[in-house]
């Protein structure tokens, strides 16, 4: 009898353990564990999940997205997450190798698969550097720079989290709806702004990761380098081309992007009397911006403001521009 009870107890413990072990690791109360590479994915996921997920961005604040390499602890984080969101382009090409090395597949979402991708463009006047003469066309990875693409990406994230955690489907759907309304209003504000825009090209004394943005709003642009270029010294021909453009089009503002040393924009401004201003491409944000609560929407609204201030058609008093003055 004693022996029987003992065997029964062991059996019960084993059954209990197995039924426990068979449950998915994340119970609805635990929340989802989401890992992202770049800032927009992080910001979209936290807006859609609210308190129902822990969202972690792998790129430390202030880190340059194109040179980031995951550490061993990052790979462990990806392996143990419920959803991994990445761009799917050249700057996080490492992710494909890592994902295919896992024995148990990790649920992933590629932002580039959420939208219609555009080929990288070598625009007139650009210094293509090593890409010069390359026949191979690559797709531009900066898909999030158009607010309408951001909506498509958010809807894909919503679908992925609903699948991973169906108990909270209603919450994710409602959060996504609210956030998409904010993105729609951002898009409408850009459309409204460009209705009275002079049509002058945007000039970037920098890399140009904004192909989707200019395509969306039908804008023209010129820049020193293509989107993901690691180049920092433009050729004399590129500098001369951009200087001529600024003069002939009577451009008031030369843009540089976040984390740039803006020396090219500064020298173009010095040569032409234009001002400079930062345009946020939102790959990543600085520690300071993060502490100040910056979001994809707030950074894009900063872009709206600098475009407005850069254009004499839009800005009421072009002399009082709040952007960086170049002496
Ligand atoms: Zn990039």
Distance 64 CA to ligand 1 centre (A): 9
Q: Tell me how far apart the alpha carbons of residues 211 and 145 are, in angstroms, rounded to a whole number.
A: 8
Distance 128 CA to ligand 1 centre (A): 15
Structure tokens at 86: 């990445």
320 CA to centre of own chain: 31
Between the CA of 60 and the centroid of ligand 1 the distance, in Å, is: 16
Distance 4 CA to ligand 1 centre (A): 67
Looking at residue 24, what DSSP letter applies?
Answer: -
State the distance from the centre of ligand 1 to the C-alpha of 313, rounded, in angstroms: 31
Q: Are 49 and 172 in contact (CB under 8 A)?
A: yes
User: Ligand 1 centre and the CA of 176: distance in Å?
Assistant: 26
Task: Look up tokens 């009275």; give the residue.
Answer: 196
- Nearest CA to 185 out of 214, 160, 150, 220 is that of 150
CA atoms of 98 and 111, how far apart (whole Å):
17
Read off the pLDDT of residues 89-119 as tens digits, 9 standing for 90 and up. Answer: 988 899 999 999 999 999 999 999 999 999 9
Length of the chain: 327
At 131-190, the pLDDT tens digits run 555 556 789 999 999 999 999 999 999 999 999 999 999 999 999 999 999 999 999 999
In the structure encoding, which two tokens stand for residue 260, read together?
């740039």
Measured between its terminal Cα atoms, the distance across the chain in Å is: 95
- Express each pLDDT in 5-33 by its tens digit: 444 444 444 444 443 333 334 444 479 99
Ligand 1 centroid vs 24 CA: distance in angstroms? 36
Q: Is 169 helix (H, G, I), strand (E, B) or coil?
A: helix
Q: What is the pLDDT of residue 28?
A: 43
Structure tokens belonging to residue 116: 């219609």
Percent above pLDDT 90 for the chain:
76
For the chain, give every domain's residue range.
Answer: 33-129+145-188, 196-320
Question: How many Å apart are CA 165 and CA 45, to the nearest integer?
Answer: 14
Q: How many helices (H) and strands (E) does the chain have?
A: 11, 8
Higher pLDDT: 3 or 292? It is 292
Q: What does the pLDDT read at residue 232?
A: 84
Superfamily for 196-320?
Nitrogenase molybdenum iron protein domain (3.40.50.1980)
Binning pLDDT at 50, 70 and 90, where does residue 316 land? Answer: low
Whole-model pTM: value is 0.86
Cα 111 to ligand 1 centroid, rounded to whole Å:
13
Same fold, 33-129+145-188 and 196-320: yes
Place of tokens 């929340």: 31
* Residue 260 alpha carbon to ligand 1 centre in Å: 13
Look at residue 131 in the predicted model and tell me its pLDDT: 58
Report pLDDT for 13: 43
How is residue 256 written in tokens?
A: 């540089």
Instruction: Give, in words, the CATH class of 33-129+145-188.
Output: alpha beta
């Amino acid at each position: 009898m004693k022996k029987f009870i003992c065997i029964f107890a062991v059996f019960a413990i084993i059954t209990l353990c197995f039924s426990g072990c068979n449950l998915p690791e994340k119970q609805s109360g635990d929340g989802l564990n989401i890992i992202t590479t770049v800032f927009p994915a992080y910001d979209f996921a936290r807006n859609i999940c609210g308190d129902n997920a822990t969202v972690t961005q792998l790129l430390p604040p202030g880190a340059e997205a194109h040179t980031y390499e995951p550490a061993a602890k990052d790979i462990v984080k990806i392996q143990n997450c419920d959803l991994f969101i990445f761009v799917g382009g050249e700057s996080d090409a490492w992710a494909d190798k890592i994902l295919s090395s896992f024995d148990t597949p990790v649920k992933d979402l590629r932002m580039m698969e959420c939208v219609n991708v555009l080929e990288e463009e070598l625009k007139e006047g650009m210094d293509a550097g090593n890409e010069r003469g390359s026949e191979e066309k690559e797709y531009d990875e900066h898909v999030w720079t158009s607010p309408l693409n951001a909506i498509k990406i958010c809807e894909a994230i919503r679908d992925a989290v609903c699948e991973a955690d169906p108990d909270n489907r209603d919450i994710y759907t409602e959060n996504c709806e609210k956030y998409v309304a904010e993105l729609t209003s951002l898009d409408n504000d850009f459309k409204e702004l460009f209705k009275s825009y002079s049509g002058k090209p945007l000039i970037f004394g920098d890399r140009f990761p904004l192909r989707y943005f200019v395509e969306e709003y039908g804008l023209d642009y010129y820049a020193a380098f293509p989107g993901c270029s690691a180049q920092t010294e433009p050729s004399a021909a590129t500098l001369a081309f951009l200087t001529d453009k600024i003069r002939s089009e009577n451009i008031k503002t030369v843009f540089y992007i976040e984390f740039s040393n803006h020396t090219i924009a500064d020298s173009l401004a010095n040569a032409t009397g234009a001002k400079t201003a930062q345009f946020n491409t939102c790959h990543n944000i600085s520690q300071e911006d993060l502490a100040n609560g910056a979001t994809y929407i707030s950074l894009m609204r900063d872009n709206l403001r600098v475009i407005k201030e850069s254009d004499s058609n839009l800005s009421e008093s072009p002399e009082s521009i709040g952007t960086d003055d170049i002496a």
